């Protein structure tokens, strides 16, 4: 990405004036330039590790329980945790984990 030295906005790519080359131009002010060299930059994407909602066996012992029906085994009790994962004006998201020792299914309620 290149930015306008006059106003600081991101420059847009368009056909150069009077030729087949490409140029960079500002959408607001009259600034434009023709790149001298090829613009190329390769950035490796680093994926974020997905953390479990309830991490470790000790977290399960300390988590509060509530009455909730597991969609997998239909057990009537689950551990829960509430987190704000959207903007502040959206409601909290509730995450559940089945209390059944054979199931331990995770689900969420928005």
Give pLDDT, residue 60: 64
Give pLDDT, residue 61: 66
Give pLDDT, residue 56: 64
Q: Would the annotation count 73 as a binding residue?
A: yes
pTM reported for the whole predicted model: 0.48
Q: Where do the domains of the chain lie, and which CATH numbers do they carry?
A: 1-39 (2.20.25), 57-109 (2.20.25.10)
pLDDT single digits (tens) 66-96? 999 999 999 999 988 888 888 888 888 888 9
Q: Would the annotation count 29 as a binding residue?
A: yes
Q: Would the annotation count 103 as a binding residue?
A: yes
pLDDT single digits (tens) 20-79? 678 888 989 989 888 777 667 788 888 888 776 666 666 666 788 999 999 999 999 998
Is residue 65 within 8 A of residue 78, CB to CB? The reply is yes
Strands of the sheet containing 22-25, edge to edge, are 12-15, 22-25, 32-33
Q: Would the annotation count 70 as a binding residue?
A: yes
Average pLDDT over residues 8-26: 79
3-class secondary-structure state, position 59 = helix
For 60, list phi and psi in degrees, rounded to 5.
-70, -35
Q: Would the annotation count 98 as a binding residue?
A: yes
């Amino acid at each position: 990405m290149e930015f306008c030295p006059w106003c600081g906005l991101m420059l847009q790519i368009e056909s150069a004036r009077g030729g087949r080359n490409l140029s960079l131009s500002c959408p607001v002010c009259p600034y434009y330039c023709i790149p001298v060299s090829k613009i190329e930059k390769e950035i490796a994407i680093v994926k974020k590790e997905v953390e479990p909602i309830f991490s470790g066996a000790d977290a399960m012992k300390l988590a509060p329980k509530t009455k909730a029906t597991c969609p997998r085994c239909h057990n009537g009790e689950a551990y829960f945790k509430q987190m704000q994962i959207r903007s502040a004006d959206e409601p909290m998201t509730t995450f559940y984990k089945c209390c059944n020792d054979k199931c331990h299914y995770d689900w969420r309620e928005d």
